[in-house]
Amino acid sequence: NAGVTQTPKFQVLKTGQSMTLQCAQDMNHNSMYWYRQDPGMGLRLIYYSASEGTTDKGEVPNGYNVSRLNKREFSLRLESAAPSQTSVYFCASLLAGVLGGEQFFGPGTRLTVL
């Protein structure tokens, strides 16, 4: 099993460009999450999908959209990138219904917006 995979690993964008970050998991997990990691701020939840067919905003959703394409895939889209979106983005998944359930993380995408 590959676990949680993310593409691309690195990306440089110019202000105003758009892009989609891809995330997939092969663990048959119900729930998926997108976080951003910034120095001194820890991980902050952008969007999540508690189950296939549902998505909801997290702590910092502005400037982002998501799509839960199917049970495996959860993509994050930046419609018009801004320098403030320079960050490392992590996708995670979890098998819901398990007490003390663990979130499994992807390797991250390092995004720079110039």
Partner 1 sequence: AQRVTQPEKLLSVFKGAPVELKCNYSYSGSPELFWYVQYSRQRLQLLLRHISRESIKGFTADLNKGETSFHLKKPFAQEEDSAMYYCALKVGGATNKLIFGTGTLLAVQP
Distances from the Cα of 75 to the Cαs of 39, 98, 99, 100, in angstroms?
A: 23, 24, 27, 26
Contact yes or no for 44/59 (Cβ under 8 A): yes
Please state, in angstroms and rounded to a whole number, the distance separating the CA atoms of residues 109 and 88. 6
Q: Which is nearer to partner 1, 51 or 80 (CB)?
A: 51
C-beta of 67: minimal distance to partner 1 in Å?
Answer: 18
Q: Which is nearer to partner 1, 4 or 66 (CB)?
A: 4
List residues near partner 1 by CB under 8 A.
4, 31, 33, 35, 40-45, 48, 50, 56, 58-59, 90, 92, 94, 96, 99-108
C-beta of 57: minimal distance to partner 1 in Å?
Answer: 11
Render 33-99 in DSSP notation, one character per residue. EEEEEETTTEEEEEEEESSTT--EE-S--TTEEEEE-SSSBEEEEESS--GGG-EEEEEEEE-TTST
Q: Which is nearer to partner 1, 58 or 63 (CB)?
A: 58
C-beta of 95: minimal distance to partner 1 in Å?
Answer: 9
C-beta of 2: minimal distance to partner 1 in Å?
Answer: 12
Q: Which is nearer to partner 1, 48 or 81 (CB)?
A: 48
